């Protein structure tokens, strides 16, 4: 902590509140430097936290946390919050096994009011706490900070609508880190915000309401006049219509103004909105220039910044999906692509640039993304919806009602499927197999390598019904990759290597990993790449059951409701069956943050564990034969 003279003395917000306002900017400067120094060594979310340093300092300075409740949307913005709430020295463990959680986590700190991972939930959370305060007679303040695009999520507007109607005591801070309002953040805006949040203005409004209470027509006219006057100089008319008192926008990096306005608003009753403008990546020039690249970072050298890796013979599954999408779109004008704010992560940057009229980023609105895909297909187009597995959960109703029941040809490209590691339980893509298998009319496939992904996408393109392809985060070799029009037969698996006694049936890239590990050990076991999760290749399963004593199924999802259970059930129904099925999958618990290999080792899902299981089962067969 050398060089952090003030920050090293702050072990809780109580320590922060002992300082004079004049010292807060120094605290913010040290906090920002500490964030840059630490995250550059650990990896993690970066630009969002840099943008809310002053806001975090001001909130913990004005509000009596943890008695007053401070809720952060998503958690991308929460690293400064963690630092000020007693976790400064543990930040270097973030996103690591047994280390700090990557987002807000209730079990980790009393300052983390609600565990979060997915966006747009903070307003609902704040409303729930505010209602609880009223019913339990608690005099506690509730503040939610929503930003980083989270206000584009539909659930946020549902919560705004409900909160405005209930008129609970709560403050919503809109952290606007877009450039569109930067010109509004000047002297006039700052003084106007201070006036709108002041007790004097509140008294004027309350007095006016009392005076005109017996004259409803005049009261309504006065209210509308007030809204229109505010609407001429602020963008808050929409929020006023929701039933909120709106203040702002103000400069989110101006600590004295933030403290003054927050102190004023802390005493106001009813639902309040404070609109602050911040710069994502503030204080680190490379992140300011490219906040998307610096949203989440690997380890890097701060003087050099994040260095773009040199092109190798590797390609990510996301990148290959993007290449396929562009190639098909060049031949078929009916191809359209949809993403819920995951353009770069899903490999769609080139498509967005080459075919802007056929590219739809619907923002953080997964329900709308899938429903839009269904409607586009019904309209005669060929929609491809690219979405992370963990976010597809939010559109389950639309998968059923607006895609599968309609039986329309929507391709669902499920990125980040399976164990993804350091982002913890809110981001593991391990539920999709279980929740999608139950949906009629839905085909689900899983490629074992890049070549199979390409050909499965071809198969999906030619398939006139809903189809989903799940693939992992990560890269693989593009040696010998053939970008042709060949397809994979839907519902058909393949035997990678034929052996005796024990057969491993796997879905996804681990089928090849296991095969190569077995070969390195000169193991005489069969390995099958099943390819299709639904429909299941029952003919191949039966063949393996007839010719082996044991089948080990392997899937990077949950055992409960997984495909391994279906294999086991089917094998049990075979007449004269002598084969036993061992299901290898994740247990009934949430998967904490760790590296992917560490997760596999912990749950006995790494190649060595599968090999040892196969050896053990084979020895049982030998004992029986003797």
What are residue 279's phi and psi, to 5 degrees?
Answer: -110, 115
Question: Would you give the DSSP letter of residue 306?
Answer: P
Neighbours of 299 (CB within 10 A): 11
Residue 407, SS3? Answer: coil
Question: Would you give the DSSP letter of residue 307?
Answer: P
How many alpha carbons fall within 13 Å on the CB side of residue 502? 24
Separation of alpha carbons 531 and 510, rounded Å: 11
Separation of alpha carbons 449 and 476, rounded Å: 7
**Beta carbons of 564 and 586 less than 8 angstroms apart:** no
Determine the CATH number of domain 322-477: 3.40.50.970
Question: Would you give the DSSP letter of residue 115?
Answer: -
| Superfamily name and number for 7-180+270-297 | Thiamin diphosphate (ThDP)-binding fold, Pyr/PP domains (3.40.50.970)
What are residue 110's phi and psi, to 5 degrees?
Answer: -70, -15
**Whether residue 66 has a cis bond before it, omega within 30° of 0:** yes
Output the DSSP codes for 492-537.
--EEEE--SSEEEEE-STHHHHHHHHHHHTT---EEEE--EEES--
Strands (E) in 39-141, as ranges, are 44-45, 69-72
Nearest CA-CA partner of 65 in 245, 281, 198, 262: 262
What are residue 305's phi and psi, to 5 degrees?
Answer: 85, 180
378-414: burial string, b at 16+ Cβ within 10 Å, e else: beebbbbbbbbbbbbbbbbebbbebbbebbbbbbbbb
Look at strands 44-45 and 296-297 and give their pairing: antiparallel
Alpha carbon 28 to its chain's center = 28
**Counting Cβ atoms within 10 Å, is residue 479 exposed (0-12), middle (13-18) or buried (19+)?**
exposed
Nearest CA-CA partner of 469 in 503, 429, 497, 518: 429
CA separation, residue 413 to residues 111, 338, 347, 391, 427 (Å): 37, 10, 11, 12, 17
**What's the pLDDT tens digit per position in 165-223?**
999 999 999 998 863 333 334 443 454 455 555 665 556 555 555 544 555 555 455 55
pLDDT value, residue 183: 39
pLDDT value, residue 626: 60
Alpha carbon dihedral 119, 121, 122, 126, in 10-degree steps, equals -170
Separation of alpha carbons 447 and 433, rounded Å: 14
DSSP run (H or E) holding 453: helix 450-462
Within this chain, domains 7-180+270-297 and 322-477 share the same CATH topology: yes
């590990």: which residue's tokens?
Answer: 517
Tell which CATH classification among 3.40.50.920, 3.30.1360.30, 1.10.1040.10, 3.40.50.300 matches the domain 494-625: 3.40.50.920
pLDDT under 70: residue ranges of the chain: 1, 148, 178-235, 309-311, 625-626
Neighbours of 542 (CB within 10 A): 15
- Sequence ranges of the domains in the chain: 7-180+270-297, 322-477, 494-625
DSSP run (H or E) holding 251: strand 245-251
Question: Would you give the DSSP letter of residue 183?
Answer: G
Which residues belong to the active site? 280, 366, 394
Please name every residue paired with 359 in a beta bridge, in sequence order, or none if there are none. 337
Tokens of 128: 């729930």
CB within 8 Å of 44: residues ≥ 6 apart: 79, 94, 95, 102, 296, 297
What are residue 65's phi and psi, to 5 degrees?
Answer: -75, 145
Nearest CA-CA partner of 417 in 381, 468, 479, 359: 468
Nearest CA-CA partner of 392 in 407, 406, 412: 412
């Amino acid at each position: 902590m050398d060089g952090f003279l003030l920050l090293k003395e702050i072990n809780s917000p109580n320590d922060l509140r002992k300082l004079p306002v004049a010292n807060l900017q120094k605290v913010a400067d040290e906090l920002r430097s500490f964030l840059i120094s630490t995250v550059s060594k650990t990896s993690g979310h970066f630009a969002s936290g840099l943008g809310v340093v002053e806001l975090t300092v001001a909130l913990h300075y004005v509000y009596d946390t943890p008695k007053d409740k401070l809720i952060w949307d998503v958690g991308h913005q929460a690293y400064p919050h963690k630092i000020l709430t007693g976790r400064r020295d543990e930040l270097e463990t973030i996103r690591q096994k047994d280390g700090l959680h990557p987002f807000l986590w209730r079990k980790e700190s009393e300052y983390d009011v609600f565990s979060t991972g997915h966006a747009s939930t903070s307003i609902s959370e704040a409303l729930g706490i505010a209602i609880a305060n009223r019913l339990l007679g608690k005099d506690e303040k509730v503040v939610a900070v929503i930003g980083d695009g989270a206000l584009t999520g539909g659930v946020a507007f549902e919560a705004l609508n409900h909160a405005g109607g209930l008129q609970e005591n709560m403050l919503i801070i809109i952290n606007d880190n877009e450039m569109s309002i930067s010109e509004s953040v000047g002297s006039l805006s700052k003084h106007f915000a201070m006036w709108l949040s002041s007790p004097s203005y509140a008294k004027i409004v309350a007095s006016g309401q009392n005076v005109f209470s017996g004259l409803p027509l005049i009261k309504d006219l006065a209210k509308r006049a007030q809204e229109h006057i505010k609407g001429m100089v602020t963008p808050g008319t929409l929020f006023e219509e929701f039933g909120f008192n709106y203040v702002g926008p103000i400069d989110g990096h101006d600590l004295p103004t933030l403290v003054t306005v927050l102190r004023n608003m802390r005493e106001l009753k009813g639902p309040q909105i404070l609109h602050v403008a911040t710069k994502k990546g503030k204080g680190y020039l490379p992140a300011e220039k490219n906040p998307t690249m610096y949203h989440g970072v690997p380890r890097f050298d701060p003087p050099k910044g994040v260095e773009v890796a040199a092109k190798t013979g590797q390609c990510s599954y996301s990148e290959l999906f993007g290449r396929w999408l562009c190639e098909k779109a060049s031949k078929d004008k009916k191809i359209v692509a949809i993403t819920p704010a995951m353009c770069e992560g899903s490999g769609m940057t080139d498509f967005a640039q080459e075919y802007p009229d056929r590219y739809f980023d619907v923002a953080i609105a997964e329900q709308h993304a899938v429903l839009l895909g269904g409607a586009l297909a019904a309209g005669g187009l060929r929609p491809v919806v690219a979405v992370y597995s963990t976010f597809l959960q939010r559109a389950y109703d639309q998968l059923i009602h607006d895609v599968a029941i309609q039986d329309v040809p929507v391709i669902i490209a499920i990125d980040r499927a399976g164990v993804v590691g350091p982002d913890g339980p809110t981001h593991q893509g391990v539920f999709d197999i279980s929740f999608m298998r139950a949906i009629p009319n839905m085909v689900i496939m899983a490629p074992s390598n890049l070549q199979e992904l390409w050909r499965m996408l071809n198969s999906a393109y030619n398939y006139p019904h809903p189809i989903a392809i799940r693939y992992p985060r990560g890269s693989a070799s593009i040696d010998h990759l053939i970008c042709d029009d060949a397809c994979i037969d839907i519902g058909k698996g393949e035997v990678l290597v034929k052996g005796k006694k024990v057969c491993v049936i796997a879905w996804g890239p681990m089928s090849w990993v296991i095969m190569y590990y077995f070969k390195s050990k000169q193991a005489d076991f069969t390995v099958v790449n099943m390819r299709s999760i639904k429909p299941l290749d029952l003919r191949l399963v039966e063949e393996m059951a007839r010719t082996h004593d044991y089948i080990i199924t392997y899937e990077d999802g949950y055992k409960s409701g997984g495909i391994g259970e279906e294999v086991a059930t089917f094998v049990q129904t075979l007449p004269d069956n002598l084969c036993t099925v061992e299901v290898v999958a994740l247990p009934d618990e949430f998967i904490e943050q760790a590296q992917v290999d560490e997760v596999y080792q912990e749950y006995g899902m790494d190649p060595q564990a599968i090999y040892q299981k196969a050896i053990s089962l084979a020895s049982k067969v030998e004992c029986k034969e003797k």
